[in-house]
Chains A and B, each alone.
Chain A
Amino acid sequence: MNSKENIKKIIIKKPLTLDCGKTINNYPLAYETYGKLNEKKDNAILAFHALSGDQFVSGTNPITNKNGWWSYAVGPNKAIDTNKFFVICANVIGGCMGSYGPSSIDPTTDKTIGTNFPVITINDMVNAQYNLLEFFKIDKLFSVTGGSMGGMQVLQFVANYPNKTKTAIPIACTASHSAQNIALNELGRQAIMADPDWNKGNYFNTSSSPNKGLAVARMAAHITYLSKKSLEDKFGRKLQERDDLKFSFDADFQIESYLRHQGNAFVDRFDANTYLYITRAMDYFDLIKQYNGNLSNAFKNSKTKIFIISFTSDWLYPTSENKEIVIALNASGADVGFIEITSDKGHDSFLLDIPDFLKSVKNFLEANY
């Protein structure tokens, strides 16, 4: 694995009281930026990453040597044009790309924190990242955006800081994690915890990590990011480098081989404990409950212009759940736009080269800049 020493970090001194009641301070927040902050400091966009993402939005991720997770959307002349905008992205707390998380070292014991890390929430992640505004001396962001868990952070940001961003684009997300989503996350967590190498989260000082469990978690999750049609189009029943079935449990089908590859590639860059903590944070996300059953109250004081985007084939965060947010915003009189993009690519659509989607984001940002 590549060195994480060169990752940019700020140490946040200001204490943050987490939803679980515990207070943290002097914790690192790893970040990356793209483009230039202008003199008026009114062109900053804070992007929030999803479950398996990190701060490396665009260009080559220096740790994985692969393209950043939102390379299609962020860059010079792209939908989020870094010739115009200054894009900031931080690794969420609980993450494993340099921010304070279960793989951080506890200075008092010199050991990895592991499952002694507090259970965090989307609200905690957002409150930690809010410190970036002070760090960059930005009074008000131009926009906050993100898909999936990133979209949840967008909603939480707008609710917590009603006048700290001019616009917001929550994409393919929900205001309240559904039973189905909790169930799918639980499946992933159980896969990790069932791996004997997980060792109750204390695997850093041992020779092996719960790679098998984490890979299975990733495989299961990966299926939920695609659609039946995209699987059918890409793989169908095609066989993997063989002419006929082998009557064994090897990867006969291309889809099996693909999923195994996805699982194995994931464990090289991701920490199993982080997977537990971040999926938990998503499960706990319920903005409706935070506002006593009335989502409109979350946005009551906001002047932020909001543009919500969903995808036709996304069954993980379907249009109906995105529309609930639109309805709540309309009920609060907010300035809201909404579009459902036609795509066969499932939940992953927000990460892909979907021209209608990218055009929508670009049009919205540039019309409001």
Chain B
Amino acid sequence: MKKEFKIIAQLIENNTRVLDVGCGDGTLMKHLKDNKNIDTRGLEISKNNVQTCIGKGLAVIEGNAEKDLQQFPNLSFDYVVLSQTLQAFYNPEKVINDLLRVANKAIVTIPNFGYWKVRLQLLFKGTMPITKNLPDEWYSTPNLHMCTLKDFFNFCSKKNIKLNKSIALHEQKTSNISKINLNLKNLSSELGIFLIEK
């Protein structure tokens, strides 16, 4: 299991209810279910992935977060997880609001557009950056709203969203992000993992 999922799993308390939005092949869900006695549900856009999840005995429904989050009642989960997909939505703000409607807490992870390698590519090559976390060309990327860790940090304070935990991930190493080191982490991290609350 990738490091990102290990960190997410550590942020989630045992015996809770979790909705994994964009659950992929269900790796995280299965881990949470088997190791932390968590009652998991998944929402996934790819039919192939839904098939895989069903084959693992996971409760996953085929759907699109922007349309299908609406069906979940208010606070029907303890946590909702959104891994590296916020930037692919038409309206990320609406999705965040929906996440914090269906669950007390949301764990959102973001590929950092402020990472130095990304910045250098744009600065020196003058082309849209391509990295491990951002592997697609500009014309075929699903990403519509790229942001930096700093952007997300600022977004939360502007919208009065509590940042319970802010973790930077770089080459398997984690560190906490705070107001003080924000500029540095925004330059040195590939991924941000945020535990947010309304």
Contacts and interface: CB of A to CB of B under 8 A. Distances in A.
Contact of A359 (B41, B51, B61, B71): B51
Interface string A317-338: 0000000001100110101111
B59 A305 contact: yes
B47 A330 contact: no
A337 B44 CA distance: 11
A331 B71 contact: yes
Contacts of B51: 339, 356, 359-360, 363
Contacts of A337: 50, 53-54, 58-61
Contacts of B63: 338
Interface in B122-180: none
Given A338-B62, A364-B55, 5 more contacts: A326-B61, A330-B73, A335-B59, A337-B61, A356-B51
Contacts, number: 59
B6 interface: no
A163 to B, nearest CB: 18
A363 B41 CA distance: 17
A329 B93 CA distance: 27
A136 to B, nearest CB: 26
Of the candidates B47, B50, B61, the one having the most CB atoms from chain A within 10 angstroms of its own CB is: B61
A248 interface: no
Interface string B68-80: 0001110010000
A136 B196 CA distance: 53
A342 B62 CA distance: 12
Contacts of A6: none
A20 interface: no
A340 B45 CA distance: 11
Contact of B71 (A330, A360, A364): A330
Interface string A327-369: 1001101011111111000000000000010011001101110
A339 B71 contact: no
A331 B47 CA distance: 22
Nearest to A307: B54
Interface string B20-55: 000000000000000000000100000100110111
Contacts of A356: 47, 51
A331 B73 contact: yes
B78 to A, nearest CB: 12
Nearest to B58: A337
A339 B59 contact: no
A340 B47 contact: yes
Nearest to A368: B57
Contact of A367 (B54, B61, B73): B54
Contacts of A359: 51
A364 to B, nearest CB: 5
Given A339-B47, A367-B55, A327 B71 contact: yes
B97 to A, nearest CB: 18
Given A326-B61, A340-B62, A331 B72 contact: yes
Contacts of A341: 47
A363 B60 CA distance: 13
Interface in A162-220: none
B160 to A, nearest CB: 28
Nearest to A340: B62
Nearest to B60: A337
B56 interface: yes
Nearest to B40: A335
Contacts of B60: 337-338
B76 A333 contact: yes
B72 A339 contact: no
Nearest to B76: A333
Interface in A245-260: none
The 8 lowest CB-CB distance pairs between A and B, nearest first, are A367-B57, A363-B55, A338-B61, A327-B71, A335-B59, A339-B50, A339-B62, A364-B54
Contact of A330 (B54, B56, B57, B72): B72
A335 B63 CA distance: 16
Contacts of A326: 61, 71
A305 B53 CA distance: 14
Nearest to A341: B47
Nearest to A319: B62
29 contacts: A305-B59, A326-B61, A326-B71, A330-B72, A330-B73, A330-B76, A331-B72, A331-B73, A335-B41, A335-B59, A336-B59, A337-B53, A337-B54, A337-B60, A337-B61, A338-B50, A338-B63, A339-B50, A339-B51, A339-B54, A339-B61, A339-B62, A360-B54, A363-B54, A363-B55, A367-B54, A367-B55, A367-B56, A367-B57
Contact of B47 (A327, A342, A366): A342
Contacts of A330: 41, 61, 71-73, 76
A366 B76 CA distance: 28
Interface in B69-103: 71-73, 76
Contacts of B73: 330-331
A338 B59 CA distance: 8
A330 B43 CA distance: 11
A305 B60 CA distance: 11
